[in-house]
Each structure stands twice: as C-alpha cells, then as structure tokens.
Structure 1
Amino acid sequence: MSHGKHFTLFTASIWPNGWKVIFVLRELGLDFEPIYLDLMKNEQKSPEHVTHNPNGRIPTLIDHKNDDFVVWESCAIMTYLVEKYDTSHTISVSDAGEKILQLQWLFFQASGQGPYFGQAGWFSMFHPEKLPSAIERYQKETLRVFGVLEGVLSQQAWLVGGKCTIADFAFIPWNIYALENYISHYNGFDFARDFPAVHRQASSDMVA
C-alpha cells in the first residue's frame, strides 16, 4: 500500500457510506488515496482489508500522518476527521451543546436512515425473490425518515449550527442514492414536491 498520501480510504464507487467520508476529506482539503473495492465480489472481506476492519465493510480510513491510525464506520470516521483536522470548524461545531446535537444526528443516520434505506434498496433491487411485505415496510420507513428530516429542515437550513456540517453530509449521499436508484419508482412519489426542504439540502452546492 502506498503511503504517498495523507490517508488511504477503502471504499466503493457507488455506495453512499464511502461518499460521506469523501465529502469531508474534500471539504477539509485533505489528500487521500482511494482503494475501490468491488462489493459484489466480496473484496471488502479480503484479508488485506479485514486486517484493518474486522467487520469487513466499507469505508475504512488509515491516517498515515497519525501513526497509521485506523478508523472504520463512516460516522466515526467523519467525527475523527473534524475533531482532528477541522480546527476552524468549517464543517463542524464547537459549542458543547451543538456537538451533542451533531452526534445525535450521526447516531440517527447510522441507526435509522442507513439501515432502512439500505434494506429498501436491497429488497427493491437485489433480493432474489420479490417480497411485497418487506418492500412495503422499508419503503414506508424511508418516507418516515424523510419526514423526520423535512420537519427539521423546513424550519432551518441545516441540521445543526446554522451551517452545513458532517451531520448533513451523513444523510445527503443516502438521500441521493435512494432517489437515483429506487425511491423515484414509489407510486406517486415526487421528491421536490413531497419533501422540498430535504430536496434543497440534497441539491446544495456544498455537495455538488
């Protein structure tokens, strides 16, 4: 593995969790070498990767300028990056209370949006047999999560701190991925009409 860059990032080209980290690295101007794993070939389970990430999932980050410190789980990686490298709080918050709110949203993304959206995508696109009850359950959950975000973002531009932070970066790639791949096929769904504030967030220049 080359150590010419500040970081090595094990990721995958189309999956949202890796893009969450890439957004942060780019916004902070941190150089990194991406290693794209083919998840359909189970390359994330390879010995080289599992050595760094025992869970065998992406993304995994190695910080070569911090004694090859390894972090996995996308929200943990984003938190690490801003705690160590966003000293001016460009995409993070500094107030103690707001830091808890930022963490709150990261927990909700990791425990709510990610699993529900992931299962919605799996049962809609990849499961070998169609299970209408599973498809319906996870479609409803994706819309529920959109509703949670809409309720907040209709009152304020960003989730915390009055600016785009890692809390927003955590949600946006999953919103875009779901919209481009399966949510647009939901009966009667119109993202811009039904969830205008979430649509605005996902269309922000910050993530273009």
Structure 2
Amino acid sequence: MSHSKQFTLFSHKTGPNGWKVVFVLNTLGLEYETVYLNFEEVKQPAHTQYNPNGRIPTLIDHANGDLVIWESCAIILYLIERYDPEHKISVSDPNEKTQLVQWLFFQASGQGPYFGQVAYFKKLHPEKLPSVIVRYQDETRRILGVLESVLKQRPFLVGGKMTAADISFAIYNNLLYGKILDEGFNFEKEFPCTFVWHQKIIALEGVKAGLSERQRMVEEEEKNLIAASSA
C-alpha cells in the first residue's frame, strides 16, 4: 500500500492530545497526513484495528513497516528517538534522557488528566458540579506550581534547551484561559516563570503552525454549529 506521506496520524480537530504529536512532527520536519475522527469514530473498528484503546492520537509510520504507535507521549518518544539524530528537540546524555521521559510521564499522568477533567466538567458534563470543578482547578494550579518551582531555576525542563518535554505541555497550557481556569486567571502574574517558558514554546515555528491550524479548525467547527442551529 502506497502513501503520499510518511506518517498517517489519526486525531481529532480540537482534542488536545493529537496536537502534541503535530507540534513534534512539524518541528522535526516530518511529512504526515492527518485523518480527523469524531468522538464516535475513534471507537469504530476502522480505528480500533490500530488502537484497541479507542482514543486518539494514533500514528502509523509507513517507512517502518507500518508500525503503529498510540498514546501521545509514547508517539513523541518514538519520533525523537528515531527521527531526531541531531537532537534538535531531544538530548543525548543518558541521565537527561531519563529526565525527559520523566517530564513526559508527568505531562501524561498529571497535566493532561487534571486539565482535561476541568474542561469536561465545565463544558460537557450534563450536571453542573461546582465542587468537582474546583477540585480539578486546584489540581491544575498545583501542576502549574510544580512547573513554576522548576522553571524558577532554569529556562527549560531538560538539558538547558527546548525539548519535546517542553513542547508536550504547550497545548493544555494554551487552553488555560476560560476553558480550564476562569476568565480572571492571570497566567503571567500567578506563574511568571511558567508563563515566559510557555511563550517561548508557542513561538516555536512547528508549534505556531500547529496552533494556527487548530484555531482554523475551531472556527470552522463553530461556523458549522451556527449553521446547523439556524437551519
């Protein structure tokens, strides 16, 4: 089976986790085609044949025997280990490699679930549960506090430079305003070092391009909803 691009990425137009992978693919200059699935389609056989967990993202590397990888941070690790020989956004020192993995685990087990739960209970859950929202917003601030405590001491998480570990945090931090924390949240004031770090990450060309594409899709979805409601 021939493919015009090296990678096929199964993702969602607005869901955060697929964009983490997009940022890394873009930054490494890798060619990929994205197949956007809705939340029902991710659990259908056409997708679960590749990812039995029925979640996105899922990546297929056609240049490596159609190898399938799922779980966003596992995909990121695969990409930097195989396709970043110059260590553009990775590290070569064994101890620093371990620290990079540590931060990817923290993003996947800490930032992603807690930030995601806030968004779910604020926007999607049919019953308003203020105490639940407050709990997860408190955890969101705790996660930001962990980052702040480290970024007070150094500009990046690992190796004194921008790596995939830093990039993995970008999409969820970009959704803090309104989506996760309330409108009065002041990122720069509450977590100044983390804010400066975040601005550096989203200024990276590969991240900037991904954020721009996601924003285009968000606006497209909003237009479709408006059109459907007025039909």
User: What TM-score, normalized to structure 1?
Assistant: 0.94
Contact kept, 8 Å, 2:150 with 2:157, in 1: the verdict is yes
SS at match of 1:52: coil
Contact kept, 8 Å, 2:177 with 2:185, in 1: the verdict is no
Contact kept, 8 Å, 2:99 with 2:158, in 1: the verdict is yes
Structure 1 counterpart of 2:118, from 117, 120, 123? 120
Q: Which residue of the partner structure matches residue 10 of structure 1? A: 10
- Structure 2 Cα separation of the partners of residues 98 and 151 of structure 1: 19
Give structure 1 stretches of 5+ with no counterpart.
none
Alignment of 1:130-169 (within 5 A): 130-169=128-167
Contact kept, 8 Å, 1:117 with 1:138, in 2: the verdict is yes
Higher RCO (C-alpha 8 Å, min separation 6): 2
Shift of 1:194: 0.6
Q: Which residue of the partner structure matches residue 23 of structure 1? A: 23
Q: Which residue of the partner structure matches residue 51 of structure 1? A: 49
Superimposed CA distance per residue, residues 19-72 of structure 1 (whole angstroms, 9 cap, x where no aligned partner): 110011011110000011122xx1111211100000000000000000000000
Alignment of 1:102-121 (within 5 A): 102-121=100-119
Q: Which residue of the partner structure matches residue 86 of structure 1? A: 84
Identity of aligned residues (%): 56
AA at the equivalent of 2:177: L
| Residues 10/180 of structure 1: CA separation in 2 closer, same or farther (3 Å cut) | farther
SS at match of 2:175: helix
- Structure 2 Cα separation of the partners of residues 56 and 197 of structure 1: 36
Q: Which residue of the partner structure matches residue 225 of structure 2? A: none
Shift of 1:106: 0.7
Q: Determine whether 1:193 maps to 2:189.
A: yes
| Residues 122/2 of structure 1: CA separation in 2 closer, same or farther (3 Å cut) | farther
Contact kept, 8 Å, 1:172 with 1:201, in 2: the verdict is no
- Runs ≥4 residues deviating over 3 A: none
SS at match of 1:203: helix
- Structure 2 Cα separation of the partners of residues 163 and 120 of structure 1: 30
Shift of 1:163: 1.0
Shift of 1:201: 2.1
Q: How many residues are treated as equivalent by the alignment?
A: 204
Contact kept, 8 Å, 1:121 with 1:178, in 2: the verdict is no
Shift of 1:179: 2.7
